[in-house]
A and B are shown apart, each in its own frame.
Chain A
Amino acid sequence: MKALSKGKLTEVLDKLSSQQEVFVPLQKGEQSGYFSWADYQPDRDELMLEALNVYQSPKNVVLPQTERMYGIISQGMEAKIDQTFEDSHPTVIFGARGCDVKGILAMDEVFLTRGFVDSFYQARRANNTIIANACYAPGPNCFCPAMEVDPVDPAGADVIIRDCGDYYAWEALTAKGEAVTAQLEGLLEDRDVKLPSAQPFEMQVDYQGVAEKLKDMFDHPLWDKMAEPCINCGMCTYVCPSCYCFDIQVKMFGEKGYRFRAWDSCMFEEYTREAGGGNPRGASKERFRQRFLHKLEFFQERYGTPLCTGCGRCIIVCPTDVNIARIIKAVKEAEVE
């Protein structure tokens, strides 16, 4: 089997980086997320392939937090589009965990299927290769198997690497995967590999039947109790590998300007505010409920899979200990009339 010696990791990333933009998990000063290897500074940044994960998921590679869509020139009552900013430069996500790959697969459903194709997303995704890092040692807040993720054999990866101590076993699974493998000729070696054994999960989550049960729980008192401490910041939605909601707005500077889209969050009051001033989700609880119904019920109904990937990020960062695993459990245990 092909293998990547850890001693050659830098060389491999440099090589890949010479042909496309490579995003790797980094602790970059105070930040922790997926950043371009081209900006890597050894004295400041630390490669986090051996940590469980990083705080900001790789979703920004295929859905940047802010992206320009097209430029506008206004001429009286008319407006002209002078350029579009569709971005199709080739990218590689190197080292994504199964949960984060699942997040991108969920976005594929939203942006590429059911008769709706988002050309900006499509342009990036078509030229994006995912090298997944199989996960053998889940963390205390992980529950990806309950969310249909196989951490050891993640679906959606073009290449899977497996940490075997001083080398990674390297397995190309798709044509894109073969293509990046070919770029590394001479840097990968053939060897017998000894795969690690998977550690058990500390947290057990049972999602069976939750989506169906939630259909009758829109007005359940559980939401009042669960939402009480929530302060409706957007932290959970922005660190989430699968939250994809966005807003499209315009910036004009005199007669020239551009239209852009930026991540938005169902946690914000402004998100559902209507032009006339009304707001169907004006109350904190209503926004809180929406987030979890979208993840656990609506997405499941539409696409046949939950929109949570079990990565545990929101559980770690939430300043008020909102815990999606506990919500799933509470729904399971709730009495419904």
Chain B
Amino acid sequence: MKEITEKIQTIAARLFEEGKIDVFIAWEKGERDYQVKAYVARSKEDVKNIVFNEYAIYNVANMLLKFRDGHERIGIAVKGCDSRGIVRLLEDLQIKRERLYIVGIPCPGLKDPLAAARNYGGFRKQAEPEGLAKKCLDCIQPNPVIYDDIIGPEQSPRQQGERFARVKELEQMTPDQRYDFWEKTLSTCIRCYACRQVCVACDCRTCIFDEMKPQWVGRENSTTDNMMYHLVKHAHMAGRCIECGECERVCPVNIPLMLLNQKLIKDVGTFFDGPEAGLKYVEGNKPPLSVYRIDDPDSFL
């Protein structure tokens, strides 16, 4: 990992020196060793703060949204999942490809700083075993799908066993059982919207949940409003979720949000052709649910 850090630093320093970028987005170490967060280097001098280590799990593609209205030329270091986020932003015309210099990092699988923070925080009676983060164990694409420079050898996908096993279990339930499951699970939501804010695919300028005229979703912390929030949010992610798992990772009440996303990934895969969201960038391509064709089947109408 130290080697990767050095390589990112070298590339970033070179880009600053050659005047090719105005900022470089990567990670930096936080207060404690396990706290690693997004970082924006603005000069060659800042480059020494960049790190890539076993906790650099945060999807930094999300940071590009903070620059979407500017003209800065941006260097950015990305893992496989982060790179899929960039493809999504390019497809949605949120940022121009020529503004980006992408440094790809084939990802060895990382740990979750939040899990470490919770273990260390004293709010638990027993520490939980700290291995690879769940999102990394489910990873099908550790290697960057779009890059200008790549650091290190390719990694193999870590996803083992049947990919949608848990989704299939839920599909086997009766509608009532399934409703009970989701009602119970989503009733615990505290509506902090971290799942939305951390999501790189959530790139709408004004989110439907922030609309007031009309207000589409009530603000009560009730099962009804909570379900409305989650079902609308996740349905909106159909064909757009890049499976980076950040929503589930940051949830302060541990809602298994990726179950909703995986169900939609599975269904979109069944009903539409083409690669999964963010796996391949072809200029002009749109995700299946962003396209309307006159001959789309509509027998259900």
On A, residues with C-beta under 8 Å from B are 27, 29-32, 46, 48, 50-56, 65-66, 139-142, 228-229, 231-235, 237-239, 247, 249, 251, 260, 262-265, 268-270, 273, 284, 312, 315-317, 319-321, 323, 325-326
Q: Check if B122 sits within 8 Å of A52, measured CB to CB.
A: yes
Is B5 an interface residue, CB under 8 A from the partner?
no
B221 and A55 form a contact (CB under 8 A): no
Q: What 10 A-B pairs are tightest by C-beta distance, nearest first?
A: A139-B122, A52-B122, A233-B194, A321-B30, A30-B254, A319-B250, A233-B197, A231-B197, A316-B121, A235-B192
Known: A30-B254, A55-B123, A319-B194. 18 other contacts (CB 8 A): A30-B255, A51-B122, A51-B125, A65-B190, A66-B222, A229-B37, A231-B62, A234-B194, A237-B192, A238-B192, A247-B219, A249-B215, A268-B210, A270-B212, A316-B121, A316-B123, A317-B117, A326-B31
Known: A65-B221, A273-B212. A320 touches B193 (CB 8 A): no
Q: How far is the CB of B255 from chain A (nearest CB, A)?
A: 8
Chain B contacts for A238, CB-based, 8 A: 190-192, 252
B118-A316 in contact (CB<8A): yes
Shortest distance from the beta carbon of A241 to any chain B beta carbon, whole Å: 13
B239 cross-chain contacts in A, Cβ below 8 A: none
The reply to whether A30 and B253 contact each other, CB–CB distance below 8 Å, is yes
B39 at the interface (CB under 8 A from A): yes
- Sampled A-B contacts (29; CB under 8 Å): A27-B125, A29-B188, A30-B253, A31-B188, A31-B253, A32-B123, A55-B252, A65-B221, A140-B122, A142-B122, A228-B38, A228-B40, A233-B192, A233-B250, A234-B194, A235-B192, A251-B218, A262-B220, A269-B210, A270-B210, A316-B117, A317-B252, A319-B198, A320-B37, A321-B35, A321-B37, A321-B113, A323-B30, A323-B31
Interface string of B243-261 (1 = CB under 8 A from A): 0001001101111000000
Contact A51 B220 (CB under 8 A): no
Report A-chain residues with C-beta under 8 Å of the C-beta of B215: 249
Contact B252 A239, beta carbon cutoff 8 Å? yes
Q: State the Cβ distance, B270 to closest chain A Cβ, in Å.
A: 30
CA distance in complex: A325, B35 (Å): 15
Contacting pair B124 A234 (CB below 8 A): no
Tell me whether A139 and B37 are in contact (CB under 8 A).
no
- What are the residues of chain A within 8 A of B216 when measuring CB–CB? none
Give the complex CA separation of A29 and B193 in angstroms: 21
The B interface, classified by DSSP as helix, strand, loop or mixed, is loop
Query: How distant is the Cα of A37 from the Cα of B125 in the complex, in angstroms?
Result: 19
Partner of A319, one of B39, B40, B114: B114
Cα–Cα distance between A199 and B121 once the two chains are bound (Å)? 16
Which residues of chain A are within 8 angstroms of B66 by Cβ–Cβ distance?
228, 284
CB neighbours of A323 from chain B (8 A): 30-31
| Interface-central residue, B123, B188, B222, by most chain A CB under 10 Å | B123
A residues less than 8 Å from B121 (CB atoms): 52, 139-141, 312, 316
Q: Chain A residues near B188: list those with CB within 8 A.
A: 29-31
Chain A residues closer than 8 Å to B35, beta-carbon distance: 321
Q: Who on chain A is nearest to B250 by CB?
A: A319
Please tell me if the beta carbons of A268 and B193 are within 8 angstroms of each other in the complex: yes
Task: Please give the distance in Å from B52's CB to the nearest CB on chain A.
Answer: 16
B114 touches A317 (CB 8 A): yes
| Chain B residues whose CB sits within 8 angstroms of the CB of A56 once the complex forms | 190
Give the interface of B toward A (CB within 8 A): 30-31, 35-40, 58, 62-63, 66, 113-114, 117-118, 120-125, 188, 190-194, 196-198, 210, 212, 215, 218-222, 246, 249-250, 252-255
Chain B residues with CB below 8 A from A239, complex form: 252
Chain B, Cβ-Cβ closest to A251: B218
Question: What is the distance, in angstroms, from A101's C-beta to the closest C-beta of chain B?
Answer: 17
Assembly CA distance A221 to B221 (angstroms): 37
Residues of chain B lying within 8 A (CB to CB) of residue A320 = 37-38, 58
Q: Which residues of chain B are within 8 angstroms of A140 by Cβ–Cβ distance?
A: 120-122
A51 and B194 contacting across the interface, CB-CB below 8 Å: no
Most buried by B among A30, A31, A249, A321: A321
Interface centre among A32, A53, A54, A231 (most CB of B within 10 A): A231
B residues near A228, Cβ cutoff 8 Å: 38-40, 66
The closest CB in chain A to the CB of B121 belongs to A316
> Can you name the residue of chain A whose Cβ is closest to the Cβ of B246?
A319
The chain A residue with its CB closest to the CB of B39 is A229
Is the beta-carbon distance between B114 and A54 smaller than 8 angstroms?
Answer: no
Residues from chain B with a CB closer than 8 A to the CB of A316 are: 117-118, 121, 123
A319 to B215, CA, bound (A): 28
